[in-house]
Amino acid sequence: MRLERQGSLFATFSLGKLKVTALSDGYADMRITTLKGMDGALAPPTFLTEAGLTGEKLRLDVNAFLIGTPDGNLLIDNGSGDAWHSTAGRLHDALDEAGIARNDVGAVAITHTHVDHINGLVMTSLKPAFPSASAVYVPEKEIKLFAAESRLARVSGLVRPLKDGQMIGEYVTAEAAYGHEIGHTAFLVESDADRLLVWGDIIHAPAVQFAHPEITWEFDADQDAARSTRLKVLGRTAREQLPVAGAHLAFPGIGHVKLSAEGYAYLPLS
Ligand SMILES: [Zn+2]
């Protein structure tokens, strides 16, 4: 992958025949106690001090990724719209800055149904944000969770259930990565010899969880499954030297996972 173009809210990389654009939705300041230790207790303070997290807040960057293919643009996740922190919800501004019209989004896929991944599907008026999108791919285990989101009613007709292993077009394959949510799904993007794993919420706090992948997140629906999926995915991406794109890695959120003396380390793609 190679960086082609960058602004304050977007960065476009080439990947084989494709263009991958990281889009910043902004950030949210979370309580440090959102991190949980192995037994569900609060994360030991030593982890936080080692990671330089001495303040009261843990900053969570929020990213989405647009996969530009010869067959059209697929948006993976879509930020929080106006439904969450006032410091987030900037995805539509990021698209503007990148010169990509909302009308040029041909389809949307979501990694899971949490507020920071789905609410950018609608505008403040609740009208669809991506008027030309022909489908919203939702992991099949989360179809009910999606349907419960009444503010997304205007896009419910576009929902297509997504199974583990299913392809979206020619270049993107859904891969089950359950744990953080019951249907949490990653997307493997492949073109020629280039690959990228858009991994959603495998990591929430990069400064802590690469070195200590056993640490979980309060909002993991299943803490044990989230932990074992994280360990599996970190192992695989390090072993295969498979670049990753993370919803909560520091913007633009694309880089490599390496084995380190203590667990894993993250090397952003510069
Ligand atoms: Zn998230």
Å from CA of 252 to ligand 1 middle? 15
Q: What is the pLDDT of residue 34?
A: 85
116 alpha carbon to ligand 1 midpoint, in Å? 5
**What pLDDT digit, counting tens, does each position of 98-156 carry?**
999 999 999 999 999 999 999 999 999 999 999 999 999 999 999 999 999 999 999 99
- How many angstroms separate the alpha carbon of residue 45 from the centre of ligand 1? 23
Q: How far does the centroid of ligand 1 lie from the alpha carbon of residue 77, in Å? A: 9
Residue 81 CA, ligand 1 centroid: distance in Å: 13
CB 89 within 8 A of CB 21: no
Compute, in angstroms, the gap from residue 63 CA to the centroid of ligand 1. 9
Q: Tell me how far the alpha carbon of residue 181 lies from the centroid of ligand 1, in angstroms.
A: 10
> 22 CA to middle of ligand 1, Å?
15
Nearest CA to 155 out of 135, 125, 169 is that of 135
Query: How does pLDDT run across 28-85, given as a tens digit for each residue?
Result: 888 888 888 866 666 666 767 666 665 557 888 999 999 999 999 999 999 999 888 8
Distance from the CA of 195 to the center of ligand 1, in angstroms? 22
> If you measure from the C-alpha of residue 12 to the centroid of ligand 1, how many angstroms do you get, rounded to a whole number?
21
- pLDDT at res. 105: 98
User: Rounded to the nearest whole angstrom, what is the distance from the C-alpha of residue 53 to the centroid of ligand 1?
Assistant: 20
Q: What is the distance in A from the centroid of ligand 1 to the CA of 54?
A: 23
What pLDDT does 44 receive? 65
Determine the distance separating the centroid of ligand 1 and the alpha carbon of 114, expressed in angstroms. Answer: 6
Segment 15-28 mean pLDDT:
97
Predicted local distance difference test score (pLDDT) of residue 52: 64
Q: What is the pTM of this model?
A: 0.95
**Res 14: pLDDT:** 97
Give the list of residues 6+ apart from residue 31 with CB closer than 8 angstroms, or none. Answer: 56, 57, 58
User: Given this model, what pLDDT does residue 170 score?
Assistant: 97
State the distance from the centre of ligand 1 to the C-alpha of 67, rounded, in angstroms: 19
CA separation for the pair 195, 191 (Å, rounded): 7
Name residue 181's amino acid: E
Q: Tell which residue, 147, 144, 142, has the closest CA to residue 182.
A: 142
| Span between the terminal Cα atoms of the chain, in Å | 10
pLDDT at 56: 56
Q: What pLDDT score does 58 carry?
A: 83
- pLDDT confidence of 257, banded at 50, 70, 90? very high
* Alpha carbon of 265 to ligand 1 centroid (Å): 20
For residues 161-183, average pLDDT: 97
Q: What is the pLDDT of residue 265?
A: 96
Q: Can you read off the two tokens belonging to residue 35?
A: 């991190």
- Tens of pLDDT, residues 206-227: 988 999 999 998 899 999 999 9
Strands (E), the chain: 2-6, 10-15, 18-31, 35-36, 57-69, 72-76, 105-109, 136-139, 159-162, 167-168, 172-176, 185-191, 194-200, 216-217, 244-246, 254-259, 264-268
What's the pLDDT at 76? 98
Ligand 1 center to 58 CA (angstroms):
14
Query: What's the 213 CA to ligand 1 centre distance in angstroms?
Result: 17
Q: pLDDT value at position 83? A: 85
The DSSP secondary-structure symbol of 38 reads T
